[in-house]
Amino acid sequence: MSEARKLFIKTYGCQMNVYDSERMAEALGAKGYVLTEVAEEADMVLLNTCHIREKAAEKVYSDLGRLRPLKTAKPDLKIGVAGCVAQAEGEEILKRMPLVDLVVGPQSYHRLPDMLERTEGGARVVDTDFPEEDKFDHLPERKATRGPAAFLTVQEGCDKFCAFCVVPYTRGAEVSRPFARLMAEARGLVEKGVREITLLGQNVNAWSNDGRGLGGLIRELARIDGLERLRYTTSHPNDMADDLIEAHGAEPKLMPYLHLPVQSGSDRILKAMNRKHTAEHYLRLVERIRAARPDILLTSDFIVGFPGETEADFEATLDLIRAVGFGSAFSFKYSARPGTPAAEKPELPAEVCDARLQRLQALVTEQQRAAQVAMVGREVGVLYEKAGRLPGQMVGKSDHLHAVHVEDPAGRVGDLVRVRITASAPNSLAGERLGA
């Protein structure tokens, strides 16, 4: 039997890309590839890219440059670029980087095996189409996951066209995967030992199919024996339907954690961003969600220094953060993405953006630490995902998605246990197992 070929994948960006990388590995696994964590061992290197942040494409080109000596040493090595930079740059990647053999967009990666076969004949291949066929119909069955928690993509694309965002252009229009296929994939994951599933989508709460919204899907998934926890990300405030809010209060398997990006607290900036909601709408929505699930931990996204943002606009964002009280947040300086409406507007001075970002992050860090300190003394569920660095220690995620270190010599990966939180550190919690 010939030796298996090895595949190295570098994943940039969001959980959607993590999921896509797993599916691409499975697709190539059907052609005899096995994963390696060492690029130098690989017969194929695949960069699964993200285009959200500034200079994302240049980072990919830089990483490709670092692969040049490896390609020189191993001329038969195949190098591919996948994901959103691939979708945005297309043929340009082949022009700038002769070492690249194939470029594949996020809606076409089910075609990877055929593309790879063509490269073995000497061709250089680009596929950035938005095919009519559903790529999920052409992917192999999910393999066993690396742990007790898994991602499940339920929705792709976005129709919101926020002025700063490239997702509608790189991922396409909103598409919801069929209910029956999601249920089958979820059952398959549970049969392989998964106990927690996070539902993914660029705009996940826009999912709808077979007369159901996301709240209905969650209720049906919760009926699967052996599936203990459900989460979803990332959401848009305008698609938080009543049944989804109700599910937070009615479904115990839906964890008390919600990532709900707002981006700004200024109505003027929200309008310029084409977010189609106001700060007041967001605050009232938070009230409704907390009324349904009082212990829910909320996180968000913020863009600082959007074109035209004044000091008053920025203060309005700080006011919103103070009003909500977030468990954590992702915050970034605005970066122009080519082809988006906001990219045509004059940018603020870098020093202004830097100073505002530091102030916002200081406030969010203060809230994050307060939220973690408030957990001390509370009892939570923790799903063990790996052994800790210390002997007899296990590490897992709490109901609220905090990393928790637990002294539990008898613990095993996949155990879902009750834990009393005993201490808070900057980025994690410590606890003791109850009833062990």
pLDDT value at position 53? 65
Question: Do the annotations mark residue 165 as ligand-binding?
Answer: yes
* C-alpha distance from residue 342 to each of 54, 202, 271 (Å): 13, 20, 12
Gyration radius from the chain CA atoms: 22
pLDDT value at position 16? 80
Cis peptide before 317 (omega within 30 of 0): no
Q: Could you tell me what percent of the chain has a pLDDT over 70? A: 94
pLDDT of 274 strictly over 70: yes
pLDDT of 154 strictly over 70: yes
pLDDT value at position 421? 98
pLDDT for 205-260, tens place per residue?
999 999 999 999 999 999 999 999 999 999 999 999 999 999 999 999 999 999 99
Question: Do the annotations mark residue 353 as ligand-binding?
Answer: no
Q: Can you list the domains of the chain with their CATH numbers?
A: 5-127 (3.40.50.12160), 135-373 (3.80.30.20), 379-433 (2.40.50.140)
The arithmetic mean of pLDDT across residues 358-381, rounded, is 97
pLDDT for 162-173, tens place per residue?
999 888 887 788
Which tops the pLDDT comparison, 54 or 365?
365
The 10 Å Cβ neighbour count of residue 118 is: 15
pLDDT value at position 236? 97
Cβ contacts of 172 within 8 Å, gap of 6 or more: 107, 130, 156, 157
pLDDT value at position 339? 84
pLDDT value at position 1? 38
SS3 254: strand
The 10 Å Cβ neighbour count of residue 41 is: 11
Winning range, highest mean pLDDT, from 42-46, 80-84, 110-114: 42-46
pLDDT of 381 strictly over 90: yes
Whole-number Å distance between alpha carbons of 261 and 177: 23
Whole-number Å distance between alpha carbons of 180 and 196: 19
pLDDT value at position 324? 98
Contact of 210 with 179, CB cutoff 8 Å:
yes
pLDDT value at position 89? 84
pLDDT value at position 139? 67
Q: Could you tell me what percent of the chain has a pLDDT over 90? A: 74
In 3D space, the residue among 432, 345, 361 whose CA is nearest the CA of residue 392 turns out to be 432
In 3D space, the residue among 67, 5, 97 whose CA is nearest the CA of residue 42 turns out to be 5
Q: Residue type at 204?
A: V
pLDDT for 401-410, tens place per residue?
999 999 999 9
In 3D space, the residue among 175, 228, 230, 223 whose CA is nearest the CA of residue 198 turns out to be 230
